[in-house]
Amino acid sequence: MVRAAVLPAVNAPLRVTEIELPAPGPGQVRVRLAAAGVCHSDLSLATGVLRQPVPAVLGHEGAGTVVAVGEGVDGFAPGCEVILNWAPACGSCHYCVHLAEPWLCQEANAATTVPYARTPDGAELYPGLSVAAFAEETVVPARALLPLPEGVPLADAALLGCAVLTGYGAVHHSARVREGETVAVFGVGGVGLAALQSARLAGAGRLVAVDVSPEKEELARACGATDYLVASDRTSRDIRDLTGRLGVDVAVECAGRATSIRAAWDSTRRGGRTTVVGIGSKDDRLSLSALEVFHFARTLTGCVYGDCVPARDLPVLAAHVRAGRIDLGALVSRRIGLEGVPGAFEDMVAGRGARALVEFPDAG
């Protein structure tokens, strides 16, 4: 039996309770969590914006230690420290093989639909985004594990599993920010802060952070923002004022709202790039006129998981962490226990803070 934060139904309160976790089957690994980040995607799963079979254990950004392996697992053994990968590529679908775009793998979340544990009364539980990291321990496919890079603290490494890979990839792979370019980041949560650090790393010139909360300015500036704007109906005009009426070369949208995407688009110069990282509702419609699409010659791009290949990008990020060029701790505004996850959801809804990090004190 292990403790976990269970979502009984969509829009129901999370309940911290004990669950029955089986031994790992063939190709599976059991991991004791050291930490799990509370991501806005978890909130989207809880509210039904993203589909997820329920009841479920949410949490998809985690790191921990292998405690048991199933038959046929190579490369991992009890005692290995690992980062969880919520979207492991299958390596055999059209996106993986023919397009070399494994971040779009059509089988990446296959484990989400298969029960992985039970409540004490026998009800089946599903793993949130295949990982179920809001628990003391979890069981995942071996391909959902990444070895912990040397020199990266295990608890903070949880952030590499989603926020940092996504923010870094959005800047370096999708938007392809070049030295000296001006950049605006909309939404200063964990992914937005990682995008700010990554844009600074890419050598961006002016770096504008935008958020609904004035309290996040200190966090944003610590991650590289040269300017901070509280979101309003003047945001795009304010950004053009900061850039000689041109607009920024690149806008990275991390909030996942049509109004924010529209503001990011309007803030981008003619010929610039707007990259959308935030996950929004299917009913939240974005409107662009045919004339402006032609006239502004901007590029509007969606971005899944930062267009990252974790096995390729994680060592690069780890080198930046070891050198002090990326500060994982700067992304964390609260360190909590499992009981604090509902409060972290409330903070996200209210626009307070950045990443809350669930820490499991007995993980060692």
Token pair belonging to 239: 């950004």
- Determine the 3-state secondary structure of 104 from DSSP: helix
Predicted TM-score (pTM) of the model is 0.95
Is the model's pLDDT at 356 over the cut of 90? Answer: yes
Give 245-258 pLDDT, tens digit per residue: 999 999 999 999 99
Q: Residue 332's beta-bridge partner residues?
A: 355
Vertex 60: Cα angle to 254 and 301 (nearest 5): 30
Query: Where along the chain do its domains lie?
Result: 2-161+327-359, 167-304
Over residues 273-290, mean pLDDT = 95
Vertex 58: Cα angle to 86 and 4 (nearest 5): 120
Amino acid at residue number 150: E
Amino acid at residue number 326: I
CATH 3.40.50.300 fits 167-304, yes or no: no
- Rounded CA-CA distance 175/345 in Å is 29
pLDDT tier, 353 (very low <50, low <70, confident <90, very high otherwise)? confident
Residue 126: closest CA among 116, 136, 138: 116
Q: Which residues contact 169 (CB under 8 A, 6 or more apart)?
A: 103, 303, 305, 306, 307, 308, 313
Instruction: Give the model's pLDDT for residue 23.
Output: 95
Is the model's pLDDT at 1 over the cut of 60? Answer: yes
Is the model's pLDDT at 132 over the cut of 80? Answer: yes
- Rounded CA-CA distance 277/255 in Å is 8
- Give the fold, CATH level 3, of 2-161+327-359: Quinone Oxidoreductase; Chain A, domain 1 (3.90.180)
Is the model's pLDDT at 327 over the cut of 90? Answer: yes
- Determine the 3-state secondary structure of 356 from DSSP: strand
Give 5-62 pLDDT, tens digit per residue: 999 999 999 999 999 999 999 999 999 999 999 999 999 999 999 999 999 999 999 9
Instruction: Give the model's pLDDT for residue 361.
Output: 85
Give 299-311 pLDDT, tens digit per residue: 999 999 999 999 9
- Rounded CA-CA distance 19/32 in Å is 14
Instruction: Give the model's pLDDT for residue 363.
Output: 58
Over residues 202-224, mean pLDDT = 96
Token pair belonging to 226: 């040269």
Mean of the per-residue pLDDT values for the chain?
A: 96
CB neighbour burial string for 137-153, b if at least 16 within 10 angstroms, e if fewer: bbbbbbbbbbebbeebe
Pairing of strands 61-69, 81-84: antiparallel
- Rounded CA-CA distance 358/336 in Å is 5
Give 79-114 pLDDT, tens digit per residue: 999 999 999 999 999 999 999 999 999 999 999 999
What's phi and psi for 24, nearest 5 deg?
Answer: -65, 135
Peptide bond connecting 55 to the previous residue in cis, omega within 30 degrees of 0: yes
Instruction: Give the model's pLDDT for residue 351.
Output: 86
Segment holding 94, helix H or strand E: helix 94-97
